[in-house]
């Protein structure tokens, strides 16, 4: 999925970033509910942040977190490397490859599939992110 050079890819990637942040929040919220139902109440925001970064329950979310960080770095005006058409296209490709749910296997794709099956908020956030790709066609 290449971005045409004439397209304002900085603005478009900013919109994609926003959609991914919303999706990330929906997934984190959904996983928190599952964690609390299975493991127990999370006592504080600091404890939850520690779980998000260190607990295997939430580890599958790390690829999406890293993708958002990569978008942030690419969009940062102070970045040492300017955002090029190729860099923007690579981020779009990476996003498209990550946001594929799979009923088989493990890792992000499988957990993403499960989240889409159980949580309508995740479905809505996924639809908003998918809309970004449909708008490009």
pLDDT tens for each residue of 65-120: 999 999 999 888 666 677 788 888 899 999 999 999 999 988 999 999 999 999 99
Task: Quote the percentage of the chain above a pLDDT of 90.
Answer: 70
Instruction: Identify the pLDDT of residue 11.
Output: 85
In a domain, 2, yes or no: no
Number of structural domains the chain divides into? 1
DSSP-based three-state secondary structure for 2: coil
Q: Is residue 22 part of a domain?
A: yes
pLDDT band at 56 (very low <50, low <70, confident <90, very high): very high
Positive or negative torsion for Cα 130, 65, 60, 63: positive
Confirm whether 3 is domain-assigned: no
| Residue 4 within a domain | no
Mean pLDDT rounded to a whole number for the chain: 89
How far is CA 78 from each of CA 7, 26, 75, 83, rounded to the nearest angstrom?
Answer: 21, 29, 9, 11
In a domain, 64, yes or no: yes
58 domain residue, yes or no: yes
The pTM of this model reads 0.87
Does 30 map to a domain? yes
Domain that holds residue 62: 9-135
pLDDT at 64: 97
For residue 1, tell me if it sits in a domain: no
């Amino acid at each position: 999925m290449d971005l045409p050079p004439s397209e304002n890819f900085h603005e478009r990637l900013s919109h994609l970033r926003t959609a991914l942040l919303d999706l990330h929040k929906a997934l984190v919220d959904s996983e928190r509910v599952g964690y609390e139902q299975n493991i127990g109440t999370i006592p504080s925001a600091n404890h939850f942040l520690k779980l998000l970064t260190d607990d295997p329950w939430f580890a599958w979310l790390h690829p999406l977190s890293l993708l958002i960080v990569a978008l942030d770095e690419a969009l940062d005006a102070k970045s040492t490397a300017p955002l090029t058409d190729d860099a923007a296209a690579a981020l779009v490709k990476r996003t498209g490859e990550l946001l594929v749910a799979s009923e088989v296997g493990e890792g992000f794709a499988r957990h993403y599939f499960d989240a889409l099956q159980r949580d309508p908020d995740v479905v809505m956030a996924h639809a908003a992110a998918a809309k970004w790709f449909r708008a490009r066609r």
